[in-house]
Amino acid sequence: MEHVPVVPEFREALAAVFDVFMAVVGLLPVILAGLALILGLLLMLFGLLPAVIGGLANILALWASFFVILMTFFGLLPDIIDIYNANFGRLATII
């Protein structure tokens, strides 16, 4: 099996893409949690359609936690690839 070296430029470009993705995804939980808070305040202040507003707040909180998990996974992915490569060889020939 032929050893193919890692292309540094590709790795740097991949890291830059991950950084931008993490920045965008990192803002989503904050925005969704803020919307859930606003909906919760509407529920307390006005009592408008409590089941609908409460359900929307729960859905937004669920999506916020999903994006936190997604952000954590993509943040750890480069480390996982490095640990795998150090212990078991190359994960892929171009990464």
Give me the phi and psi of 74, to 5 degrees please. -70, -25
User: Domain range for residue 31?
Assistant: 8-88
Domain for residue 94, yes or no?
no
Comparing 8 with 36, which gets the higher pLDDT? 36
Give the ranges where the chain is alpha helix by DSSP (H).
8-46, 50-88
The alpha carbon of 89 is separated from its chain's Cα centroid by a whole number of angstroms, namely: 27
Domain for residue 93, yes or no?
no
Tally of domains in the chain: 1
| pTM score, whole prediction | 0.38
CA atoms of 54 and 44, how far apart (whole Å): 10
Domain for residue 1, yes or no?
no
Instruction: List, for residues 41-59, the tens digit of each pLDDT value.
Output: 777 777 666 677 677 778 8
What percent of the chain has a predicted confidence (pLDDT) above 90? 0
Domain for residue 3, yes or no?
no
Domain for residue 39, yes or no?
yes
Domain for residue 95, yes or no?
no
